Chain A
Amino acid sequence: MMLNIDSLEYSTGDFNLGPLSFELEEGGYLTVSGPSGSGKSMLMELIAGLRIPKRGRILIDSVDYTYFSPKSRPVGLLFQDYALFPHLSVFDNIAFPLKILKKDKVEIQKRVKVLAEYFFVEKLLKRDIGGLSGGERQRVALARAIAYQPRILLLDEPLSALDEELRDGAKETLKALKNSGQTIIHVTHNMDEVEGLATKSILFGQGFIKSVF
């Protein structure tokens, strides 16, 4: 299995998450749904390394990443509000992880161009983040998260900030990503928006897994 969550536990204040255990195969599309405040986003942050669990293990390709820093994990995270860097252009946002990896300039140019074309943002590359629409922001954030070539892409409510009419287009983008073989975990409170995408689904109760189907 590509991702193995083994008896993962976390607590903050009065809230206890877990123990959670589940697996995800390579190229799988896992949806995690449940009511607000049930710990779905917390699970994403645990997998991304933004929170450290109390107990349990996070294995990716059989390597134990439980206590690795976020930068050392082969995981990309798309935040609910996209968290684009407002002081950087669209190009520099997408290029950010490549510059961190110290790729050479020509390679960065090439890769950003490919990603921008894939996500239909090639005409926006010189633009500031401030002037982008919700749909454009989402596509730029996806391009940035993918630029890092993560083994697993975590999507935290990726469609919730979009208007009804933009959602269909965004869903098509996610479908294309899934078809490219990207392993994805998609958190949502609305099961309708992930219809036709999931290969596996988890339903959360308050801090625990209610069912897997």
Chain B
Amino acid sequence: MRFNRDFNLTYIIFALLGGVILVFIIAPLLGMFLSLKAPEFFSTLNDKQVGESIYRTLFISALVTLVAAFFALPLAYILARKSFPLKGLIEAIIDLPIVIPHSAAGIALLGFISRDSLLGSFASSLGLNLVGSSSAIGMAMAFVSIPFLINSARDGFSAVPVRLEQAAETLGASRYKVFSQISLPLAKRSVISGLVLMFARGMSEFGAVVIVAYHPMTTPVLIFDRFNSFGLDYARPVAAIFVAVTLIIFIFLRIYQKK
């Protein structure tokens, strides 16, 4: 029998195994859309609370992603370029939010921002209550999602040849100009990928957000609330609309990223 490089038995078995994973991801989502009932779906579409929660979720997640980038990108660059004592420890600290349960992260954050904490009492003196605020939602989102941005950007900066940065230096560029005009544009793809991942992870966060701010409700909390109070039929349309909105956003972001 003639040997075919494209249809080797190993590849066929691997493709079938991979197919199981794809079905595992697609089937529940597809099932959710297929079991939607038209009246509930259309009434949910016009539900002001749902619209507001989606807007709130997307807006806060986008905002914290941009604010976090201002701090995270310099850190990612240092981690990519410099060796220093305790670097491994710092990298482990950055990965902590990925490994700890998000409800535990919420509890930790709640202690950090409650009125009897340093930050909470300072905010309180300004007439602000952090617990149950948009700021708390943003902090919870940032806490659980920032490792994705830092790690992706760090990998991107690491892949930029040091030679190009040195060349820019010998051409008169300061270290900051080297970063802004050579390293950052060359690592752009990884940085954007990190921003998208952070944004996505932030807006889908439930565990940490629900502990620091049940109200105002983000969409993941609203889905839980509807499920808890009224059951699956009322939670499903909200979930489907949120998934559809996020899918549309990510298709656009993917297309932009490819460009």
What residues make up the interface of A, taking CB atoms closer than 8 Å to B? 45, 48-50, 69-71, 73, 75-77, 79, 81, 83, 85-87, 96-97, 100-101, 144-145, 148
B167 within 8 A of A: yes
Asked whether, in the complex, the Cβ of A100 is within 8 Å of the Cβ of B164, the reply is no
Chain B nearest Cβ from A183, distance in angstroms: 16
Judge whether B163 and A77 touch: CB under 8 Å. Answer: no
Asked if A148 and B171 make an inter-chain contact with CB atoms under 8 angstroms apart, the answer reads yes
Closest chain-B Cβ to A147's Cβ sits at a distance in Å of 8
B168 touches A50 (CB 8 A): no
Main secondary structure of the interface of B (DSSP, over half): helix
Q: How far is the CA of A101 from the CA of B166 in the complex (A)?
A: 17
Chain A contacts of B171 at CB under 8 A?
A: 76, 96-97, 100, 144-145, 148
Asked whether any CB of chain A lies closer than 8 Å to the CB of B72, the reply is: no
Give residues 127-175 of B contacting A (CB, 8 Å). 161, 163-164, 166-174
Q: Are A101 and B168 in contact, with the CB atoms below 8 A?
A: no
The verdict on A100 contacting B169 (CB below 8 Å), with A83-B164, A86-B186 known, is: no
- The listed residue (A76, A81, A86, A101) touching B170 by CB distance below 8 A is A76
- Cβ-defined contact, A70 with B186, below 8 A: no
B161, B164, B168, B169: which contacts A69 (Cβ < 8 A)?
Answer: B169
Interface size on B (CB < 8 Å)? Answer: 17
Instruction: Identify which of residues 173-211 in chain B touch chain A, using a CB-to-CB cut-off of 8 Å.
Output: 173-174, 177, 181-182, 185-186
A148 and B172 in contact, given A85-B182, A100-B177 (Cβ under 8 angstroms):
yes
Q: Give CA–CA (A91, B181) in the complex, Å.
A: 15
Q: When the two chains form their complex, are residues B170 and A75 in contact, meaning their CB atoms are under 8 A apart?
A: yes
- Contact indicator B163/A79 (Cβ below 8 Å): yes
- Inter-chain CA distance A100–B181, complex, in Å, is 10
Chain B residues contacting A86 (CB-CB under 8 Å) are: 164, 186
17 more A-B contacts (CB under 8 A) besides A49-B169, A71-B173, A86-B164?
A45-B166, A50-B169, A70-B169, A75-B170, A77-B167, A77-B170, A79-B167, A83-B161, A83-B163, A83-B164, A85-B168, A85-B182, A86-B186, A87-B186, A96-B168, A96-B173, A148-B172
A100 to B174, CA, bound (A): 9
Q: Among the interface residues B166, B171, B186, which one has the most CB atoms of the partner chain A within 10 A? A: B171
Closest approach, in angstroms, between the C-beta of B82 and any C-beta of chain A?
16
In the complex the two chains form, what is the Cα distance from A69 to B176 in whole Å?
A: 13
